[in-house]
Amino acid sequence: MLQEATRREQVDMALLRRYHEHDDMRAREELAERCLPLVRSLARRYQGRGEEFEDLVQAGTVGLVKAIDRFDLEAGRRFVSFAAPNITGEIRRHFRDHTWDVHVPRSMQELDAKVQSARSAAIADSGREPTDDDLAEILSVPVAEIREARSAGRAYRAMSLDAPAGEARDVADTHGTTDPGYRHVEHVATLADARTALTDRERDVLDMRYDDELLQREIATRIGVSQMQVSRIISGAIEKMADHVAPPSAAVAA
């Protein structure tokens, strides 16, 4: 017989259908709330890079909502696997749009903005590119500060990876390879989803075995059961996790 959809995926799909097929906004909100732990988990990977954690969560939540809106009910994929790269993509976009490539004093940022405005006005008036001396005279600041502000501005306006690089290629095409982080994020999301199928005891045993790297006999002593029972708990938990994340269409022998 056909393997039934996992419990979490059944709920996710039911909410997605209510939203996409019946325009049920409460279903959309409920699904977003269900997935907030995933958003926070992915946002933690980007902590310590100069942005507040809650700002990262907010950006990730935007990605989550976009994933809910864009999800194709007929694509035959799990929602959590679709949502994870959308969430991380929005967090990365937050860094691109809201942070500077290098740390620059706010005074330099503000002066750079004034320099750009004065430059545009000067070009409009005279039809030529103003020199640093011209800009210093317009803004009544030392020419050395004009040059420093323009250098800071160039750091902020670093070349986009979407910029042309010749021969019908983008700059992104000339650097690096596929980011393995996306696959890792999906694995983390899948594991977190699978663990929801376990009891607290099963999760504790797996944590002791694979995180703390305790031997089965050490776990048995801690929880007061035999080593054989620990082995059964581990194998049973792994089987439950595998069943929980199995594709809805997976067939099993009767």
On the question of pLDDT at 162 being above 50, the answer is no
On the question of pLDDT at 184 being above 70, the answer is no
Confidence class for position 189, pLDDT limits 50, 70, 90:
low
pLDDT at 30 (0 to 100): 93
Highest mean pLDDT among 15-29, 75-89, 103-117: 15-29
On the question of pLDDT at 36 being above 80, the answer is yes
pLDDT at 108 (0 to 100): 76
Task: Assess whether the region 106-157 and the region 197-244 belong to the same CATH fold.
Answer: yes
* Predicted confidence (pLDDT) per residue in 207-226, tens digit: 888 777 888 889 999 999 99
* Predicted confidence (pLDDT) per residue in 47-70, tens digit: 776 678 888 899 999 999 999 999
pLDDT at 179 (0 to 100): 44
Q: Where are the domains of the chain?
A: 7-98, 106-157, 197-244
pLDDT at 160 (0 to 100): 42
On the question of pLDDT at 5 being above 60, the answer is no
Which is nearest to 173 in space by CA: 160, 184, 185, 186?
160
Cα angle 242, 247, 249 (rounded to 5 degrees) comes to 130
pLDDT at 62 (0 to 100): 93
Architecture category of domain 7-98 in CATH: Orthogonal Bundle (1.10)
Read off the tokens for 92. Answer: 């990365």
pLDDT at 170 (0 to 100): 39
pLDDT at 164 (0 to 100): 41
Mean pLDDT, rounded, for 61-88? 89
pLDDT at 53 (0 to 100): 86
Architecture category of domain 106-157 in CATH: Orthogonal Bundle (1.10)
Contacts of 77 (CB under 8 A, 6+ apart): none
Read off the tokens for 190. Answer: 């899948």
Contacts of 146 (CB under 8 A, 6+ apart): 111, 115, 132, 135, 136, 139
- Give the whole-number percent of the chain exceeding pLDDT 70: 73
CATH, domain range 197-244: 1.10.10
Mean pLDDT, rounded, for 71-98? 84
Mean pLDDT, rounded, for 236-242? 83
Q: Phi/psi of residue 164, each to 5°?
A: -60, 145
pLDDT at 16 (0 to 100): 93
pLDDT at 11 (0 to 100): 87
CA distances from 197 to 6, 120, 207, 243 (A): 9, 60, 15, 9
- Give the whole-number percent of the chain exceeding pLDDT 90: 23
Please give the distance of CA 195 from its chain centroid, rounded to a whole number.
20
Q: In the predicted model, what is the mean pLDDT of the chain?
A: 77
Mean pLDDT, rounded, for 145-168? 58
Specify the pTM. 0.43
Contact 32, 12 (CB under 8 A): no
